[in-house]
Amino acid sequence: MIVAGLGLALLGAAREARAGEDSRTAEAFLLQLRERGYFDLASEYIERLRSDPGVGEPLKGLLDYQEGRALIDEAARTTDLARRRELLDRAAGRLEAFIKDRPEDATTLEALVEIARSLFERGHQARLVGEESQEPEKKAAKLDESRTTFQQAADAYARAAERLEAVYKPKAGFIPKGDARIEDRDRTRTAMLDASLKRGIALYELAQTHPPDSQERAAILDQAIARFHALYKDYRTELAGLAAQMFEAKCFEEQGKIGEAIGIYQQVLGQPDPRLRDLKRNVHYFHIVALGKRKQYALAADEAVKWLQTYDRRDERRSIEGAGVYYELARNLDAQINAETPKAEKDQAAKKIVEALSQVVRMPTRYKNDALALLKKYKPNTAVEPREIARLSFDEALNQGEEALAAREWDRAIALLRAAASKADPRRDADRIALARYNLAFAFYMNKQFLEAEVLAGHLARHRTGWEYAPPSAALAMQAILDQYNSSPPADRASDLERYIDLAEFAVRTWPERDEADDARIALGQIHQGRGAYDRAIADFDGVRERSPRRLEAQTRLGGAHWAKSRALARGGDEKKAESDAEAEKAVAILRKTLDDRKAAGAPQGDAGYLGNAADLGAALTEWGKVDDALAVLRPIVESQTSKLGPAYARLLEAYLLAQINAGQVEPAIASMRAVEESGQETNRAQLYYKLGRLLEEEVDRVRKANQPQKLAQTKESFRNFLLALAASKSGQTFESLRWAAEGLLSLEAGAEAEGVLRGLLDEYEHDAEFLKQSGAAERILRAKVKLAAALRVQKKFDQAASVLDELLADSTFKRYLDPLVEKGELLDAQAEAGQGSWNASCAHWQNLAQKLSRSRPKPESYFDAWYRAALAYSKQKQTARARQTLTAVMRLNPGVGGPAMKQKYDDLLATLK
């Protein structure tokens, strides 16, 4: 009731503040709302001011700035990491909109600091998501994103500080007391010091993303120390200077200078000024950590208890420092327990450890995973006894169920929350019962009981539509259906998909202004696009609200839907060309505008959405034939990337590589392909190798014709390496790409490598029932086996090659084909050349083959080549006359000899037969 009363009082104040207020009154009121955590009221107040025609400038022009600040404050406090990212995206959009085309003033400069703060909070969000993830790849990608974003935050703070300093310097002189300029000067100075301090803090956090003993961490800590020391030296009597001193000490602690750090902590803690409460709260926590590092475990634990007694407000204990203190208390108590510890003391300490850690695991902080690991030591997963549950009240079962959720003990949480839901009075506790069931559905989901999660969450969504958790219930049910759809083995995917669509459409109809409705619109758009219903997909994506945190993603997907429709129309031929081009024009325009909007919203250069948007635009331009435009878009973005890892970067490079290939840029394409390899991603790599290999193949021919021996050798080696990489790639592989790689290796005389590729290809496809059903599958298998014989021949494995060919020629399906007969002749030639066969046998084989081909009309080139090879075999036996006679007889009857290239071969051989 106290909270509700305070909320009503604030709303009343909002109504009073509206009439005739200036921007300072509104700002003060919004500050009160933010400090109390009433972010929904702050948002409501801003929207009321935004839509009120009686509110004019300058207040109306400041609303985007005020909303951006409120969103960042809310993001910093929320425990929902997905929600935190959405809030930060919205905040960046509001702040960028505020400073765009606005003359520089004090508020504009402060907005630059807030933009840097949004980047800083993004860095924390990415780091926490990575630490929460159980997937190594996602963990690494998020750590890398965090590192990039902290660097961008440090740079943004530096730019803001420099600009603020330039504005402050002319104001820094003497101003008489009472002069109105004093307020403006002090405001600028405060913002300048804030930006300078936070630049150092961003560097400190950046250092934490590197391994403890790494050179990168040490170098960044040195940079941070220099920043903090300079700030403390110049402003040692002010809050910013003292905060800088605190962080300088923290950096010393990180460098192992613990005694030096503790001395500074104690100096700051000795300050009597009550205005330093928040600063001393941080310092005291750092002091506890340092004592633990110095193995003064008992003293560290005592200081942790003292901290909790001193900073006993709920918001203080639930702060990042509060979570850290609870964790340090548990850790230092644990460190004091050994084999000699009396059981009574051990049990008492264990109880305190569990109580402390239970607080930590409820919050998404960097300490959560370590706290969970330590908690399992003292509170291992145990089955819940039915008799134990029966004795619990509703509140006890609910609280213990929530604790089990925080500790990720899903089975225990399910048992307790089920019990809680059954113990409550539906007439008095309807909302609390619903919340227990929502948490139960979440526990089912995390326990991979997707059907149970779907049924329970879906029921809550459909039957309690006005409840605050109804939209999240729908989202949970949809996610459960999706995971069930993707489970192995799938149960009934068609039914799963239809239930998903039905629930998504229900969410859009029921809560059209909620974020969950936008999530549903995007999901429906993806489904409709996958089914080829492009117009419905376009309507879905376009329906995402303008103010949605996923608006930019929806616009990117909208561009993709127009592009997919364009490609579908293009397959209709010339009749559909005009429509296809019109859709392509729309797609490119939307993707280009969305990329610009992302940039204006402050998206980091390494942001996955930004890179994906750029990749989509580049790929569309390339496929549409506008390669130069694609390169112009992609090149600066690729070159600006500081992180070279992760799927988003790999996708960007793929688009860039395709543009380079289509532009015929061989060397840059090779460099980009290497960068794709180093990114650690397998997506589409085989097809990229295939396309680049085709380009290299053309380059080999070009260099050979240009008679550049050194360049030819280098290009051949590059070609060989890419063929091997193509063959080794695990994703996106096809029969044709593998066959082409093997044939390319054969063209480079790399017989052993070609053999390996071909044997792998045959192992995979020769007994693949689905592949063998395809038209021409038998002929493709035949050709692969012939090429295997050729690879064996190149290595002089003549017996193995002969065995492969004999098997083919004995097969009723294959013996009528020309390819095995030609390769048989190649093998006989190679054996004769190596002294393991006779040229007479070779000559006879080529003559027999020529006789068989003589019945074809018109005669194929292979007919003339067979006679040429027979004549060559005669020449090898020193039967020059018979060789000449063979060639001239063919030429007399067929003056063109199948074509200019073959005629040149005949003439060249005749010239040697003298």
Per residue in 686-742, pLDDT (tens digit) is 555 666 666 667 667 767 777 778 877 877 777 777 677 767 765 556 787 788 778
Distance CA 22, CA 409 (A): 53
Instruction: Point out the least confidently predicted range of 7-21, 49-63, 123-137, 141-155.
Output: 7-21
Nearest to 247 by CA among 225, 276, 217: 225
Query: Residue 19 has what pLDDT?
Result: 40
Instruction: Please give the single-letter amino acid code of residue 641.
Output: Q
pLDDT at 223 over 90: yes
Task: Tell me the mean pLDDT in the region 809-819.
Answer: 81
pLDDT score recorded for residue 500? 92
Of 357-361, 464-468, 668-672, 773-777, minimum mean pLDDT range: 668-672
Residue 799 pLDDT > 90: yes
Confidence of residue 233 (pLDDT cuts 50, 70, 90): very high
Return the structure tokens found at 910: 């005749």
The pLDDT of residue 687:
58
Confidence of residue 3 (pLDDT cuts 50, 70, 90): very low
pLDDT tens, position by position, 827-847: 999 999 999 999 999 999 999
Write down the residue that tokens 């205005």 correspond to. Answer: 275
What CA–CA distance (Å, rounded) separates 43 from 74? Answer: 11
Q: What percent of the chain has pLDDT over 70?
A: 90
pLDDT at 544 over 80: yes
Q: What is the mean pLDDT of residues 641-647?
A: 70
Model confidence at 536, pLDDT cuts 50, 70, 90, reads very high
- Separation of alpha carbons 883 and 886, rounded Å: 5
Distances (CA, A) of 161 to 110, 190, 424: 10, 10, 56
Number of other CB atoms surrounding residue 734 within 10 Å: 12
Give the Cβ contact number of residue 24 at 10 Å.
Answer: 10
Distances in Å between the Cα of 553 and the Cα atoms of 86, 93, 136, 401 are 12, 13, 25, 36
Residue 175 is given by DSSP the state -
Q: Please say if the pLDDT value at position 10 is more than 50.
A: no
pLDDT of residue 461: 92
Letter for the amino acid at 454? Answer: E
Q: What is the CA radius of gyration of the chain?
A: 36
The three-state secondary structure class of 706 is coil
The amino acid sitting at 3 is: V
Q: How many CB atoms lie within 10 A of CB 210?
A: 17
pLDDT at 123: 87
pLDDT of res. 109: 85
In this structure, the number of other CB atoms found within 10 A of the CB of residue 797 comes to 17
Cα Dmax for the chain: 119
Torsion sign, CA atoms 210, 214, 216, 217: positive
Structure confidence at residue 398 (pLDDT): 84
Closest listed residue to residue 687, CA positions, set 640, 654, 653: 654
Q: Given pLDDT bands bounded at 50, 70 and 90, which one contains residue 555?
A: very high
Q: What would the mean pLDDT of 590-614 be, rounded to a whole number?
A: 83
Average pLDDT value over all residues in the chain: 83
Cβ-proximal residues to 657 (8 Å cutoff; 6+ apart), any chain = 669, 672, 673, 676, 688, 692
Query: Hey, what are 69's tokens?
Result: 């600040």
User: Would you state the pLDDT for residue 591?
Assistant: 95
Q: Give the Cα separation of 653 and 329 in Å (integer).
A: 47
Report residue 814: phi and psi, to 5°: -100, -20
Dist. CA 605–CA 144, nearest whole Å? 13
Confidence of residue 1 (pLDDT cuts 50, 70, 90): very low
Cα angle at 282 between 278 and 286, to 5 degrees? 165
Rounded Cα–Cα distance for residues 50 and 63 (Å):
7
771 burial (CB, 10 Å; 0-12 / 13-18 / 19+) is middle
Q: Which two tokens stand for residue 55?
A: 């509110």
The predicted pLDDT at position 732 comes to 54
| Percentages of the chain per state (helix, strand, coil), in multiples of 5 | 80, 0, 20
Q: How far apart are the first and last CA of the chain?
A: 115
H helices within 19-80, ranges in order?
23-36, 39-51, 63-77
Residues 496/467, Cβ–Cβ less than 8 Å:
no
pLDDT value for 676: 63
| pLDDT band with cut points at 50, 70 and 90 for residue 17 | very low
Dihedral of CA 50/52/57/59: which sign? negative
Nearest-5° angle of CA 654, CA 659, CA 661? 90
Q: Which of 485-494, 748-757, 813-822, 887-896 has the lowest mean pLDDT?
A: 485-494
Helix (H) or strand (E) holding 853: helix 839-853
**CA distances to 169, 247, 279, 515 from 232, in Å:** 19, 10, 14, 45
Torsion sign (Cα): 53, 56, 59, 65: positive
- 38-52, 235-249, 462-476: segment of lowest average pLDDT: 38-52
pLDDT, tens digit (0-9, with 9 covering 90-100), for 560-571: 999 999 989 988
| Rounded-to-integer distance, Cα 872 and Cα 891, Å | 15
pLDDT band at 23; cut points 50, 70, 90: low
Cα separations (Å) of 31 from 34, 35, 69, 371? 5, 6, 10, 34
Q: How far apart are CA 714 and CA 704, in angstroms?
A: 11
What is the secondary structure of 843-895 as a DSSP string? HHHHHHHHHHHTTSSSPPHHHHHHHHHHHHHHHHTT-HHHHHHHHHHHHHH-T
Residue 671 has pLDDT above 80, yes or no: no
Task: State the Cα–Cα distance between residues 516 and 548, nearest whole angstrom.
Answer: 10
Of 43-47, 509-513, 680-684, 739-743, the one with minimum mean pLDDT is 680-684
Q: What is the mean pLDDT of residues 249-270?
A: 90
| Average confidence (pLDDT) over 472-480 | 91
Q: What pLDDT shows up at residue 2?
A: 29
Check residue 15 and give its pLDDT. 41
CA pair distance 722, 676, nearest whole angstrom: 12
Contact 335, 344 (CB under 8 A): no
* The pLDDT value given to residue 14: 40
Give the lowest-confidence range in 147-156, 388-397, 466-475: 388-397
pLDDT tens digits for range 616-628: 999 899 888 898 9
Torsion (CA) 72, 124, 608, 538 in degrees, nearest 10: -40
